[in-house]
Structure 1
Amino acid sequence: MRKQSFLTPPSYLGVIMAFTDVPRTSEHSTSADPTSSATASTSSAPQAQDVAAEAAPPSTGNVATVDDEDGYDGQLPDFSDDEAASAPTTNAPKLLPPKPRGPPGARNKKSGSLASSAAALKKKLSPGNKATKTTASSGQASSSTSNTEGIKMTDNQLDAVMAKLALDQPELAGKLQRLDVQELINQAGINEKFLKGESGLMGKAVKDMASHKFWSTQPVPRLDESLQDVREGPLEPNTPIEQIPREPIKLHKDFVWSNVELNDSAQLKEVYDLMTNNYVEDPDASFRFDYSAEFFEWALKPPGYVPDWHVGIRVAATGKLVAFISGIPLDLRVRSVTKRCTEINFLCVHKKLRSKRLTPLLIQEVTRRTHLFGIFQAIYTAGAYLPTPVSRCQYYHRNLNPQKLVKTGFTSIPRNSTMARLINHYRVPTETKLVGLREMEKKDLKQVARLIRAYNARFDIAPAMANKEVEHMLLAGRGKDVDGKRVGQIVWTYVVEEPGTGKITDVFSFYSLPSTATKMTTRTLVNAAYLFYYATTACPSCADLGDGSTATAVTNWKDETQEERETLQKRLIELISDCLILTSKLGFDVLNALTLQDNSLFLEDLKFGKGDGFLHYYLYNYATKPILGGIDATDGGSGVGVIML
């Protein structure tokens, strides 16, 4: 789950959405939090490719969906990786979070008349404007107009929007009318479907089930069926082993399947090169994920991994690796049922072979291979709204190095603000405060594993991790000690040990996934950290776990009392405050997080900025009722406890 933030000045669309309240028809629908800062960006940032199969949300630009691919025409392109991409190369959004909101209190300077300001406001949200323009290749309507009506806001909501717009642009004070704001909402098509992620601005990118030519053939919940009334469980029965094809999916004669052996340094480098040159860029190709060999070692080789599920496509004549998809096994609990599943990730097709029908072939082939192992369910994520999400989370971002982010174009200084104010706003202390805080060691494994299992058991969907899996996720990516320095470290894990007793009361972790600023004259990295698994005895289900010899009753997070939630919130703020200090001291420029787990209890308090990007969670061949994603303030939290890299 997907992976970086791109910050922008205040957005009029963000102001309107911040005061929008749409009745929720399902648990994964969203409404904006009226108490949040109203300076969200509307532009989308890069996200990692995944099993969304080259589908992208309205704001991603020239990206083909799996249903729009034309098919391979038998004409092999020149696969030079040195050639600059002529268009954004994002395959499918995942974990590169979009631009978060800027710091509060930055007012816009006065400029122009009401007429020019109103005109600019309308132009920003008008069809055909660059900020909202889409292309036919992205699977969206090419029309520049829309008949989509916006939501109807109450007078109080319209007044709140006008007040916020006047605060950000003082020359509008007393001159805007409710009708002006409602007209802009109608013009932009800000309706319930837009807020739920089912369509883009002006109604673009709306698809029914029949339009999803690939996904309509797969065992996934249909868009035209209500998940509220779903019968939980597999959508199709397991296929008898003798009926599963033993031969790979047929490819064009110019290509061959390849089992990518990650234990071979040469093949590991091939995956690295493919990802480096073709994986994820933001829409204007300013940033690209900078994966490392150590990252792939950690992410793709957990305990029990199957080498056969690291699937590649090569050019038959040259052997060049031009496409890749991975699957790793995991035990996934969905409410009260635990299934052996496949986590699908790292789908990448060479940018010169996009829209050539390789993506559905990759998905079908890795599915066939997992079926041979008796696994018939999978989990995957996407920024796009596909058939049909089980949950939806939102990205948040904590700026740690304003100077670096501004220099690289990763963020900008809000109007009428200064770098000094930005630095002061995001400054963190230099020393941690928690007594007993230290790096996790192998001797802590049993306690930490028990704590994480109990903590995750509170959520509606979460991995069921054995000790060896916890060890891999939290310790295997620590790198190697070379001359007193840690080399190749991917993940950092810290515990809080109770003085005098040796009891581990808390644990938190984060991992590193930097991006290269491609438009800098010299190679410059934006060092991004991503909040990973954490747990604390401050929640009632984890307060007394004993030695693990007896089962402990677990209370679902939704059933915890207000007092229990407040106690948990206080402790999480203390933990993640120290996490911010550690990430800053380690040289990270930004800490990214989603609204999963109990993150909504501390994101706003710790100055994480709300992003405009969302991550949808999908289950393959399994139906379940929607799970809260922590987006709505009224949700009080999230039922999602699984984190995909």
Structure 2
Amino acid sequence: MEPTEKESLNEPTAEGSSTTDTSAMPKDPSKDFSPENAKKMQELFAKMMKDNPETYKKFEEFKQMQPLLQPHAFWDTQPVQKVTETMGISEITPGPIEENKKNDISTEPIKLAEGFEWCKIDIHNEEQAKELHELLNKHYVESDGGTFKLDYPLDFLKWALCPPGYKPKWHIGVRATKTKKLCAFIAGIPLNLTIMGEEVKASSINFLCIHQKLRSKRLAPVLIKEVTRRINRTDVWQAIYTSATLIPKPFSDAVYYGRPLNYKKLVEVNFFKKDKSFNAKKKLYTLPDETETPGFRRIRKKEIKKVYPMLKEFLSEYKVAINFSPEEAVHYLNYRENVVYSYVVEDPETKEITDFISFYSLNSEVIGHDKHDTMNAAYCWYYCSTKTPLESLIKDATIMAKKEGFDIFQMLNIMENEEVVDELRFAKLKGTLHYYLFNYRLPNINPEDIGVSFV
């Protein structure tokens, strides 16, 4: 029988208090592997490995992945990658985990718990759109301290959810049977990916939201199963999604950086802490009034057909990237006030479009502040740099964002973003965004190898 915790942590008897000769007795292994000794061994092991950066990196990755070694009642039943597959236990060959046929997929919806029913959310129906807006704004994403809540305007939701070829049946809601109140939502959005050079027909999964009072009802797995079923019925078997929660198993992890545009306001709303260097930092974050790249200006819709092949070639260099169709490029990249802001660089001499950059608008409600009720945030979207250095492109984008009234410019360390964070005075923000693939096996990749940006 294994020793109990109490037994394994017992103190040895005082010297001379026992007449038993223990010198020839085998050691009690439980004492060698006590929590205290295990911690000391881990610290010693980490110290030794610091001399080998690559080994130390693997050790840190292993520590971060430890929660994934625990049982996961839902995800252990799904075609998602296992953490052991990227820990040197087996070789990773990119490709589908399961092969299926849509005729094998049930035509009947997943059964919901009593008191709930499925519904389709029509984002173009004013009443339903307002219901979705209210659900997301109250129950979707909130900062740890409850100070900020993301605010998704209706125009933004229509842009994010309804690209060319979108599937209305993939916009799935759950209502309370008696009151008909919308209490949960999940969305699938069709897209094409390029994964390690292979084109993959897929979907992105976004806006999984459940009313806070219903979080104990285990609705999330049911929503995921149902959106998966509906997507599979269209003969699409792969999906990409992100989450701040660590679940089995991300293929990459990204972090956010933020460049203050209105430092004074960010301190006032407590997004940044005020310290003795406030005035120096306020001066440090000052930006020019006008953009600096000759020919930098707002894009015209007709120019997207010129930007499209440049962007397509640019994104093809990444290991995992979105593969826009021409119609999707027009939808996602055309300038839309209060939604997406897109700019090009036009060569002053040749009049050719040489570069492109965009950012989208996603503001946060500031909770309980007596002066500010909104923090205006611009998020780096897609770009392609062929002639103008990326540092200049992003700097000009931050200048335009400030002119448009944004308080902060944020971006993940995907694509080439991390190369410019120091020069452009971006600060690393809290939290990690994990990238996942559903029903696709892939080796771990670095965030700079990702060419997919999420809203």
Same fold (TM over 0.5): yes
**Residues in 1 aligned to 2:178 and 2:109: alpha-carbon distance in whole angstroms:** 19
- Structure 2 CA distance for aligned equivalents of residues 145 and 375 of structure 1: 50
User: What is the total number of aligned residue pairs between the two structures?
Assistant: 412
**What per-residue deviation string (whole Å, max 9, x for no partner) do you get for residues 387-423 of structure 1?**
2211122211111111101111111123x32x32121
Alignment match, 2:336: 478
Shift of 1:608: 0.5
Q: Which amino acid aligns with 2:166?
A: Y
Would the alpha carbon gap of residues 276 and 146 (structure 1) be closer, same or farther in structure 2, given more than 3 Å must change?
A: farther
Q: Distance in 1 between matches of 2:360 and 2:219?
A: 31
Alpha-carbon distance in 2 for matches of 1:601, 1:319: 50
One-letter identity of the residue aligned with 1:233: G
- Matched with 1:22 is none
The answer to whether the aligner puts 1:367 opposite 2:367 as a matched pair is no
C-alpha deviations, 1:337-385, integer Å up to 9, x for none? 1111010000000000012110000000000000110001000111233
Deviation at 1:192, TM superposition (A): 6.3
Q: 1:529 to 1:145 in 2, by over 3 A?
A: farther
Task: Find the partner of 1:220 among 51, 63, 80.
Answer: 80
1:196 has 2:61 as partner: yes
- Aligned residue number for residue 423 of structure 1: 282
Q: Deviations over 1:156-214 (max 9, x none)?
A: 99xxxxxxxxxxxxxxxxxxxxxxxxxxxxxxxxx968943854xxxxx9434451111
2:98 aligned partner, one-letter code: E
What corresponds to 1:520 in structure 2? 369
The 2-side partners of 1:255 and 1:154 are apart by 56
Q: Deviation at 1:522?
A: 5.4
When residues 197 and 584 of structure 1 are mapped into structure 2, their CA distance, relative to the original with a 3 A threshold, is farther
1:574 aligned counterpart, secondary structure = helix
Distance 1:522 1:270, change over 3 A: farther
Shift in CA distance, 352/410, structure 1 to aligned 2, threshold 3 Å: same
Instruction: Tell me what 1:609 maps to.
Output: 427
- Alpha-carbon distance in structure 2 between the residues aligned to 1:327 and 1:593: 23
RMSD after superposition = 2.2
Q: For residue 11 of structure 2, what is the aligned residue in structure 1?
A: none
Asked whether the 8 Å contact 2:238–2:437 carries over to 1, the reply is yes
Q: Deviations over 1:91-140 (max 9, x none)?
A: xxxxxxxxxxxxxxxxxxxxxxxxxxxxxxxxxxxxxxxxxxxxxxxxxx
Report the CA distance between 1:625 and its aligned residue: 1.8
The one of 262, 272, 286 aligned to 2:147: 286
Q: State the partner residue of 2:128.
A: 267
Between 320-329 and 612-621, report the one with greater CA deviation.
612-621
Kindly report which structure 2 residues correspond to 1:447-462, keeping only aligned pairs within 5 A, or say none. 447-462=306-321
Q: Distance in 1 between matches of 2:145 and 2:429?
A: 18
3-state SS of the aligned residue for 2:241? strand
Q: Residue 235 of structure 1 corresponds to which residue in structure 2?
A: 97
Consecutive unaligned residues in structure 2, runs of 5 or more: 1-34
CA shift, 1:601, in A, is: 1.7
Give the Cα separation in 1 of the matches to 2:416 and 2:63: 25
Distance 1:596 1:197 in 2: 22
- Alignment partner, residue 219 of structure 2: 358
1:464 alignment counterpart: 323
SS in 1 for 2:202: strand
Supply the AA of the counterpart residue of 1:323: A
Q: Specify the code of the residue in structure 1 equivalent to 2:386.
A: T
Distance 2:187 2:417 in 1: 28
2:398 is the alignment partner of 1:588? no
Code of the aligned partner of 1:478: R
1:382 is matched by which residue type in structure 2?
A: S
Deviations 1:604-641 (A, max 9, x none): 11000122422211110011222211xxxxxxxx1100
- Post-superposition offset of 1:155: 12
Distance 1:210 1:413, change over 3 A: closer
Residue 351 of structure 2 corresponds to 502
- Residue of structure 2 equivalent to 1:482: none
Measured in 2, the distance between the counterparts of 1:155 and 1:206 equals: 18
Q: Which residue of the other structure, out of 404, 427, 437, is the alignment partner of 2:296?
A: 437
Distance 1:402 1:355 in 2: 39
Q: How does 1:107-146 map to 2 (within 5 A)?
A: none
- 1:398 to 2:259 alignment: yes
Show the counterpart of 1:48: none
Q: Does 1:620 align with 2:438?
A: yes
Are 2:103 and 2:233, in contact at CA under 8 Å, matched by a contact in 1? no
Partners of 1:628 and 1:639 within 8 A in 2: yes
In 1, Cα distance between equivalents of 2:59 and 2:287? 36
The whole-number CA distance in structure 2 between the counterparts of 1:248 and 1:154 is 54
Distance 2:327 2:62 in 1: 37
TM-score by length of 2: 0.86
CA distance 1:386–1:304, change in 2 (3 Å): same
1:78 maps to: none
Aligned-partner SS, 1:230: coil
**384, 393, 396: which one aligns with 1:535:** 384
1:576 positional shift: 1.1
On the 8 A contact 1:209/1:216 being kept in 2, the answer is no
- Contact residue 357 and residue 382 of structure 2 kept, 8 A: yes
Mapped partners of 1:145, 1:248: distance in 2: 51
Q: Is the 8 A contact 1:310 1:327 kept in 2?
A: yes
Partner of 2:210: 349
Give the aligned residue type for 2:311.
I
Q: How far apart are 1:523 and its partner, in Å?
A: 5.5
Give the Cα separation in 2 of the matches to 1:377 and 1:287. Answer: 33
Scaled by the length of structure 1, the TM-score of the pair is 0.61
CA shift in 2, pair 1:430/1:523, >3 Å: closer
Q: How does 1:4-403 map to 2 (within 5 A)?
A: 148=39, 149-150=42-43, 152-153=46-47, 195-196=60-61, 199=64, 206-209=66-69, 211-226=71-86, 229-238=91-100, 240-403=101-264
**Residues 378 and 156 of structure 1: is their aligned pair in 2 closer, same or farther, counting only changes over 3 Å?**
closer
2:317 counterpart letter in structure 1: R
Instruction: Name the structure with the higher strand share.
Output: 2
Secondary structure at the counterpart of residue 306 of structure 2: helix
Amino acid at match of 2:167: V
In 2: Cα distance, 1:314 partner to 1:523 partner: 34
8 Å CA contact 1:210, 1:216 repeated in 2: no
Question: How far apart in 2 are the matches of 1:207 and 1:198?
Answer: 8
Say if 2:391 is the partner of 1:573: yes
Highest Rg: 1 or 2?
2
**For residues 208 and 577 of structure 1, what CA distance do their matches in structure 2 show?**
39
User: Match for 1:221: what amino acid?
Assistant: Q
Aligned partners of 1:318, 1:420: CA distance in 2, in Å? Answer: 54
What secondary structure does 2:441 align onto? coil
Query: Does the Cα contact within 8 Å between 1:208 and 1:224 map onto a contact in 2?
Result: no
Whether the 8 Å CA contact 2:68–2:249 is kept in 1: the answer is no
Q: Deviations over 1:432-456 (max 9, x none)?
A: 1111111110121111101110110
Letter in structure 1 aligned against 2:218: R
Q: Distance in 2 between matches of 1:586 and 1:280?
A: 24
